Amino acid sequence: MANYVFLGPPGAGKGTMSEMLAERDGHVHVSTGDILRAEMKADTDLGQQARSYIDAGHLVPDEVVAAIVTKALDTDEVRTRGFILDGYPRTVPQAKRLDATLDAVKLQLDRVVLFEVGQELLIKRLTGRRICRECGAVYHVCFTPPKQADVCDKCGGSLYQRSDDSPETVRERLRVYHEQTEPLIAYYESRGLLLRVPGHQRKHAGFAVLCEHLHL
Ligand code: AP5
Ligand code: MG
């Protein structure tokens, strides 16, 4: 099974596309953002440490996220099913550390998928995103609304807005992406691993485009 990094700005669809591909092909989906939010919800030391960075739209320190990723990747499940890394790496030091981790656990990175989406649509997606408090299903108030406002179609749980999806924090997250994460495009392009995928379509059309680009 191929191993992927999904790269792209906030709201590019990394999480949505990871879920769809993992469901179709069985990959282990590793989202550093989801893991950090689960720690915040459980109010662990790690969650408390991460909260101030996340709510400000800033990156959590490299050491903290690297430890999470190493633990998530070094499993038999990942070795048999392959992985999709969603939201990691986000800095060049994180990418170098990932190379070393993959060597150590004897895994190979096959493709880095960059989802390209214009800034206006990113802001619309993020500020309209809603998430189920119980099962984590993701909706959008315009693009993929639930049947009943603020109620999850799948489990009946209530929907909430992520604390970092306010317009001011979204602007800061986009700034941080341009400054700290965009250099990864050149990093992976120079190694022949980068695959650019247009990410502006609606969910199902977007997934079809992704599969076409990956020859799946
Ligand atoms: P994280 O949770 O990873 O946030 P992000 O990278 O900012 O990305 P998002 O999750 O907001 O967007 P997405 O691309 O997954 O889009 P989605 O599929 O939901 O990280 C959060 C924070 O954690 C960071 O700011 C940082 O503080 C910390 N962190 C995480 N990783 C870190 C790291 N490596 N280093 C340091 N700190 C780290 O889609 C968005 C919306 O659009 C949804 O509502 C969806 O339904 C809708 N939508 C509409 N059409 C489509 C379509 N075609 N495809 C996908 N979605 C669509
Ligand atoms: Mg996400």
6 has a pLDDT exceeding 90:
yes
Question: For residue 63, what are the contacts with CB-CB under 8 A and spacing of at least 6?
Answer: none
Q: Evaluate whether the domain defined by 4-118+181-214 bears CATH number 3.40.50.300.
A: yes
Model confidence pLDDT, tens digit, residues 109-125: 999 999 999 999 999 99
Q: Report which protein residue has its CA nearest ligand 1's atom 8.
A: 10
Answer whether the bond into residue 89 is a cis peptide, omega within 30°: yes
> Is the pLDDT score of 1 beyond 90?
no
What is the number of other CB atoms lying within 10 angstroms of the CB of residue 79? 16
Q: Which atom number of ligand 1 is nearest to the Cα of residue 144?
A: 46
State pTM to two decimals.
0.96
Q: Give the rounded percent of residues in the chain with a pLDDT score beyond 70.
A: 100
* Residue range 195-213: mean pLDDT, rounded: 97
Please tell me the least confidently modeled range out of 112-116, 135-139, 191-195.
135-139
Q: Is the CB of 72 under 6 A from ligand 1?
A: no
- In this predicted structure, what is the pLDDT of residue 110? 98
State the pLDDT confidence band at 70, using cuts at 50, 70 and 90.
Answer: very high
pLDDT at position 183 is: 98
The secondary structure of residue 9, as a DSSP letter, is: S
The stretches of 1-144 forming alpha helices (DSSP H) are: 14-25, 32-41, 45-56, 62-73, 76-81, 92-104, 119-127
Which of 14, 62, 175, 176 for mutating ligand 1's site (highest number of atoms within 8 Å of CB)?
14
- pLDDT tens digit sequence for 7-35: 999 999 999 999 999 999 999 999 999 99
Neighbours of 98 (CB within 10 A): 20
Burial of 48 (0-12, 13-18, 19+ CB in 10 A): exposed
pLDDT confidence of 57, banded at 50, 70, 90? Answer: very high
Do residues 14 and 32 touch, judged by C-beta distance below 8 A? no
Write the residue with the smallest CA distance to atom 52 of ligand 1: 203
d(CA 214, CA 192): 14
Band of the pLDDT at 211, cuts 50, 70, 90?
very high
Convert the pLDDT of each residue in 170-187 to its tens digit: 999 999 999 999 999 999
Looking at the predicted structure, is the pLDDT value of residue 131 above 90?
A: yes
Distance 126 CA to ligand 1 centre (A): 8
User: What integer best gives the mean pLDDT of the chain?
Assistant: 96
Residue spans of the domains in the chain: they are: 4-118+181-214
Across residues 53-80, what is the average pLDDT? Answer: 95
Q: Which ligand does the CA of 87 lie closest to?
A: 1
pLDDT of 44 strictly over 90: yes
